[in-house]
Chains A and B, each alone.
Chain A
Amino acid sequence: MNKHSLSGGIRKVFPNLTNNNHLIASPKTDNYNCIAWSFEVNSKCMWPSTTGYYWPFETITIDPLENMLAGYLENGYEKCDSPDLEAGFKKVAIYVGPEGPRHAALQLESGKWTSKLGNLEDIQHDTLECLESEAYGKAVVFLRKRRN
């Protein structure tokens, strides 16, 4: 482990992380969460239909995953089939567990990904598989939006 990678405790949560496939990119803070970070917001915690969370979108559905996706669609994203890098597009991957969405990662122009880990740091990770785990589930839904 080096000083730019996550500590041993959290590494147990994400068994696919290695010293060479991620970098810590910010200090710990609970000021924003992964969903806010995927919307490029770092001053609020975002989650749909939940007291104490910011969610400026109007569409509300009963299904938790569709409820979250509706926010991205309102924000100009569209669903796509693959997380692969596409020129001119930014992408978001939604990690899903049995009860619904658990995490979101935002693709960088390099093709790597950036994720805010709950109340902890945000990291850059080489692939979506790095964070696939019992805690986060799998990245199964992908969205894209044209870069400005």
Chain B
Amino acid sequence: MTTSNIEKRIRDTARSSEENFILEPDEGEGAGDWQGADVLNREIQDLVDRLPNEHQIELFIDSLRTSDLRDEFNSLLIDVISAIKDPNLYRLSCLYALNNWFSKTSEIVTHKTISKSMVFKKQADTWHKETDHLSSPQLITSHEAYLKIISMGASVIPFILQDLHKRGGNWYVALRMLSDQDPVPPEAQGNIPLMKESWLIWGRENGYIE
């Protein structure tokens, strides 16, 4: 779908939404009692609440990296963000458009995420099998399967955190590289329970895991 088509879709949705949802206050007597603005605000807030979080959007973009849908998504996102910033222009309708788009593509993304999860598990199984008996961090973190997992990008962070929780292992180098962060305080270096806890808290705070 081209950008102009997306814009047309957004505007069509906008018109439809305005007809259905934008309520104008009555003038004159009784106008002060009108509750339509509250209804509208709740509607908007509900839609905002349903929007994907930052991590989910990253996952969408990453999952669509090889797909034509990525260009469509980027265009849609730019349009919608612009519209949302202007409260007089299609805010409600653009929220609907964005939510609808995510709904339509979620099946594709879910499929790709499952595929990525399977690739991750295969590589993680190999890595555990071939390095769990080792102590040398250089050998552990330069293993081919470990490097392949890092090359899959930040979208594997949730899988890594889940594996860290279930099976342990030196996932810390991969997590630092993929997130460009290190939540482990200096005094906890080498203390594996504290290091795990630091990363799992970080993962929850940043929406990577429940």
Given A30-B169, A52-B170, residue A102 in contact with residue B189 (CB < 8 A): no
- List residues of chain B with CB within 8 A of the CB of A45: 135, 190, 192
Q: Give residues 153-185 of B contacting A (CB, 8 Å).
A: 168-170, 172-173, 176, 182, 184
Contacts of A47 in B (CB 8 A): 135-137
The interface centre, meaning the residue of B136, B191, B193, B195 with most chain A CB atoms within 10 A of its CB, is B136
* Total B residues in contact with A, Cβ cutoff 8 Å: 25
Find B136's partner among A31, A32, A101 (CB 8 Å cutoff).
A101
B136 touches A102 (CB 8 A): yes
B184 to chain A, nearest CB (A): 7
B133→A53 contact, CB < 8 A = no
Closest B residue to A49 using CB positions: B137
CA distance A45 to B132 in the complex (A): 14
- In the complex formed, the residue of B with least CB distance to A99 is B138
Q: A99-B138, A102-B139, A119-B169 are in contact. Are A135 and B133 (CB under 8 A)?
A: yes
Please provide the chain B residues from 93 to 139 with a CB less than 8 Å away from any CB of chain A in the complex: 129, 131-139
A102 and B190 alpha carbons, distance in the complex (Å): 17
A123 to chain B, nearest CB (A): 11
User: CA A34 – CA B136 in complex, angstroms?
Assistant: 9
Residues on A with C-beta less than 8 A from B168 are 30, 119
**Is B195 within 8 A of A34, CB to CB?**
no
Which size bracket describes the interface of A in this complex? 20 to 34
Neighbouring B residues of A43 by C-beta, 8 Å: 191
B146 CB to nearest chain A CB (Å): 14
Q: Is B133 a contact of A52 with CB atoms below 8 Å?
A: no
Q: Is A33's CB within 8 Å of the partner chain B?
A: yes
B169 and A53 form a contact (CB under 8 A) = no
* CB closest chain-B residue, reference A35: B135
Closest approach, in angstroms, between the C-beta of B19 and any C-beta of chain A?
58
| A69 interface residue per 8 A CB criterion | no
Bound-state Cα–Cα, A97 to B138, Å? 12
Which residue on B lies nearest to A116, using beta carbons? B135
Q: How far does the alpha carbon of A35 sit from the alpha carbon of B136 in the complex, in Å?
A: 9
Contacts A30-B169, A52-B184; A118 near B133 (Cβ below 8 A): yes
Let me know if B132 and A120 touch, CB within 8 A: yes
Residue from the list A13, A52, A99, A102 in contact with B135, Cβ < 8 A: A102
Among A29-87, those with CB < 8 Å from B are: 30-36, 43-47, 50-55
> Residue of B at shortest CB range from A36?
B190
Give chain A residues whose Cβ lies under 8 Å from the Cβ of B176: 51
**How far does the Cβ of A48 sit from chain B's closest Cβ, in whole Å?**
10
Given contacts A52-B170, A52-B172, A52-B184, contact A13 B190 (CB under 8 A): no
Interface pair B131/A31, CB less than 8 Å apart = no
Residues in B whose Cβ lies below 8 Å from that of A8:
none
Query: Are A52 and B190 neighbours in the complex by a CB distance under 8 Å?
Result: yes
A100 vs B137: C-alpha distance when bound (angstroms): 11
Interface residues of B (CB under 8 A from A): 129, 131-140, 168-170, 172-173, 176, 182, 184, 189-193, 195
- Given A99-B136, A102-B136, A102-B139, output 19 extra A-B contacts at Cβ < 8 Å: A9-B129, A10-B133, A30-B168, A30-B169, A30-B170, A31-B192, A31-B193, A35-B135, A44-B191, A51-B172, A51-B189, A52-B173, A52-B190, A52-B195, A54-B190, A55-B190, A100-B136, A101-B136, A120-B132
